[in-house]
Amino acid sequence: MDEKTEARYRDECRKIITTLSGKTNRLSPRYSQIDEVFSNYEVFKKHIHNNMNYNDVPSKTEPLMDSHKIASAFFCSFLKAKPIKYTPDSSNNPPSGFELQANEWGAFIFGLQVVMDFWADKVFDSVTAEDQEIYKQPIRFPETSKDNYVTWFIKLVTDGIEKYFDFDNEKYEGKFIFFIAHIYFMIEKYAYQYHKTCLYEKRSIHLAQELAATKKTP
């Protein structure tokens, strides 16, 4: 990651911390942890490289990671640094689910930012007009009957799973980070297929209208 790119994502990281910590008066930002987020990223990046499969062994020295693996490294780096702090107040009210999981939310959003940036860049890289139309649309999550997709994702990575993403924990699993990368991959694929389906449906409606108009013409 070059200096310009890192500076931009440091700014995005700060914005996420500010936004989420401002949602309740019992959450506070720990901006000093941003440095740890990016030092963690370098460690996770090495772990990803070491666990990727290569035909050419020498290429392991500096292999390229796709956007989903970068996003997963961002996710794990944010989650380990915990830049959002919960502090009980005098109300004696128990913490809400969001207050307990603010760092998980921040981690997901931080990783998603990478996916959205690569998604937006594909508008210029697309070889077909159809793909250009698709990538002009925003990332869309699968619909759920209860809560929302991100809430279910947060539930998935809490309740004891976090230790598998922490490289300082004895239960750390280096390959488990690919689990997060796959989720980001599936989010992007779902969004692509969703917008492609919508585009085809619009074309079908337009074609049906044109055919109906033709039939009415004497």
Percentage of the chain lying above the pLDDT 90 cut:
53
- For CA atoms 183, 186, 192, 195, the dihedral sign is negative
* 107 vs 101: CA distance, rounded Å: 10
- 193-217 pLDDT per residue, tens: 999 999 888 877 766 666 666 766 5
Mean pLDDT of 142-168: 80
Q: Range of 171's domain?
A: 3-216
Which residues are within 8 A (CB) of 31 and not within 5 positions of it... i.e. 6 or more apart? 14, 17, 83
Task: Quote the number of domains for the chain.
Answer: 1
What count of other Cβ atoms lies within 10 Å of the Cβ of residue 131? Answer: 17
Which residues are within 8 A (CB) of 1 and not within 5 positions of it... i.e. 6 or more apart? 9, 41
Assess whether pLDDT exceeds 50 at residue 58. Answer: no
Q: What is the pTM of this model?
A: 0.85
Assess whether pLDDT exceeds 70 at residue 41. Answer: yes
Assess whether pLDDT exceeds 50 at residue 82. Answer: yes
* Whole-number pLDDT of residue 127: 77
Assess whether pLDDT exceeds 50 at residue 140. Answer: yes
| Residue 1 vs residue 184, higher pLDDT | 184
- 21-37 pLDDT per residue, tens: 999 999 999 999 999 99
Assess whether pLDDT exceeds 70 at residue 155. Answer: yes
Q: Contact 129/196 with Cβ under 8 angstroms?
A: no
Element (H, E) at 8: helix 3-21
Mean pLDDT of 44-49: 89
